[in-house]
Structure 1
Amino acid sequence: MDILETDAYDRRQRRNSSCVLFLFLLPFFISSGFYFYLWIPQTAPSLLAAMVKCSPVLSLAALVLLYNGAWSFWGVAGGLMLSACGDCCLIWPHLFLHGMTAFGLAHLLYSLSFLSDRYSSLSSSSTSFFVSVSLWLTGAGAYVYLLPYLQKRSDAAILTPAVGVYVLLIIAMATLATRTRRTLTILGSLSFVFSDLALSLQAFAVIDPTEEGRAFVMATYYLAQMLIAVGDIKARSDFGEGVGKRKRM
């Protein structure tokens, strides 16, 4: 095949792969829709509520494992599983710290994944530098703003430093994501930051919790996890294609 035929073949392959990936994402879309349809009140924590809430993220973890193999357990797939554990914990208010710990570990696994060879080499462009600085300023500003509200809580001695560590982990994850040059990964990480910021404002009584606020938190959260998962699958696919092309040269 000449170059034009090869390019056309590659485009067809990518298009077919995208269609298959969309079909595999249907469990995520269905379970997410089921969650919003049931919209179980936060005042009624139960195992059913936990299962409904974490099922979309578990479906994404299964998808990443299917595409990328068992090694992804120590990367994005493992982060998704830890996030599902965090989802379950947050159903019960007294397990808030446990849930935050699970999400913090998830961000750590995401960060390690973004540092792997499958993602583009870290760039030092002016754009990535500006975004990184903006993220760290946002994280620091949010923590300083939340500090008086954290100190009013009965568990302030544990919660205050714990939130600080969590902010470091999620901002570090988002910073590494923005430097991968992968649109899905970048948008996913930023959506996660927005979701957690909105959640913290309600969880720590900065603003009154509302159904609209809860809907925003969950919509941006599910969107973030989906983008990160699909971004990881794409990164693995592109890396494999790149290796194959180098071997054929």
Structure 2
Amino acid sequence: MTSVIKVVKNVGPKLVPYFKTVAIYFVIFVPQDKPSIFSTILKCLPIISLMLFVVLHGMSLGEEYKYSRRILTGLIFCCIGDAFLIWQQYFDVGMLAFIIGHIYYISAFGFKPVNLPLAAVLYFLATLVVLYLLPGLHGIFIVGVPIYIMVITTMLWRAIARVQFFEDLWTWSKLCTCAGGILFTLSDLMIGIDRFKYNIEYAQVLIMSTYYAAQVGIAVSIVDAKTAITANKNK
């Protein structure tokens, strides 16, 4: 298991562009009701920085980088989704891009261990959220939003299920995906409430801060993913 000190030393310098672009986003802070090419670039820069981080950490077509490739592809589609969500008329296209991004995250996290009790609880809560948002949905969102909620719930399930605290089998990779999955779901829940139910005060700040934190958690999870695969091979 990768130590905290090793993670910080390895990850810190490579994440400097990410932290700088996040700071720039919140300092300039273009309101979401004023979409532009500039605000689109500003919003996407932190995710592009995370994509660069994943590539710099190591990338090839080998089995040891399968996890990193899937996380990178997920980030790419999320970045595309970010760009479309800036423009309200393309919200559905952005949502589709995020669905694809989550599918890649799910494929990276895998389905072992299964943890069916956790799945039952999460899908039950997801159903309650669907029923809560349903009266405010219209058009394609009547179908699209429930599908999206179930996909992100699956991502959350797989992110949390990877962490096995009681079996002492957790790693920083798994812990980061768990935190990232929870924050991602929280961010999207706020988007759903703000768009389809009622306006949340300081919604953009809350949504983007939890979203960026979620994405860095998922991206950082590649740090010891290669080590884990290599260890399994050696066994």
Q: TM-score, normalised by structure 1?
A: 0.81
Structure 1 residue 42 corresponds to structure 2 residue 32: yes
- CA distance in structure 2 between the aligned counterparts of 1:218 and 1:192, rounded to whole angstroms: 10
Unpaired segments of 5 or more residues in structure 2?
164-173
- CA distance in structure 1 between the aligned counterparts of 2:225 and 2:79, rounded to whole angstroms: 23
- CA distance in structure 2 between the aligned counterparts of 1:187 and 1:35, rounded to whole angstroms: 22
State which of 133, 155, 163 in structure 1 corresponds to 2:145: 163
Tell me if the contact between 1:185 and 1:232 (Cα under 8 Å) persists in the aligned partners.
no
Relative to structure 1, the CA distance from residue 45 to residue 227 in structure 2 (aligned partners, 3 Å threshold; closer, same or farther) is: same
Shift of the alpha carbon at 1:240?
2.8
More helix by share: 1
Tell me if the contact between 2:59 and 2:69 (Cα under 8 Å) persists in the aligned partners.
no
Tell me if the contact between 2:184 and 2:211 (Cα under 8 Å) persists in the aligned partners.
yes
- Greater Rg, structure 1 or structure 2? 1
- CA distance in structure 2 between the aligned counterparts of 1:220 and 1:69, rounded to whole angstroms: 27
Structure 1 residue 84 corresponds to structure 2 residue 79: yes
Higher relative contact order (CA 8 A, sep 6+): 2
Tell me the residue number matched to 2:171: none
Tell me the residue number matched to 1:191: 183
Tell me if the contact between 1:177 and 1:189 (Cα under 8 Å) persists in the aligned partners.
yes
1:1-249 alignment runs, 5 A limit: 15-16=5-6, 18-71=8-61, 74-115=69-110, 122-123=112-113, 128-150=115-137, 156-181=138-163, 182-204=174-196, 206-210=197-201, 212-243=202-233, 246=235
Pairs aligned (count): 220
Q: In angstroms, what is the RMSD of aligned CA positions?
A: 2.1
Tell me if the contact between 2:176 and 2:220 (Cα under 8 Å) persists in the aligned partners.
yes
- CA distance in structure 1 between the aligned counterparts of 2:24 and 2:118, rounded to whole angstroms: 35
Shift of the alpha carbon at 1:70?
4.3
Unpaired segments of 5 or more residues in structure 1?
1-6, 116-120, 151-155
Relative to structure 1, the CA distance from residue 147 to residue 69 in structure 2 (aligned partners, 3 Å threshold; closer, same or farther) is: same
- CA distance in structure 1 between the aligned counterparts of 2:40 and 2:229, rounded to whole angstroms: 36
- One-letter code of the match for 2:34? A
- CA distance in structure 2 between the aligned counterparts of 1:17 and 1:194, rounded to whole angstroms: 26
- CA distance in structure 2 between the aligned counterparts of 1:242 and 1:67, rounded to whole angstroms: 20
Q: Secondary structure at the match of 1:25?
A: helix
Shift of the alpha carbon at 1:241?
4.6
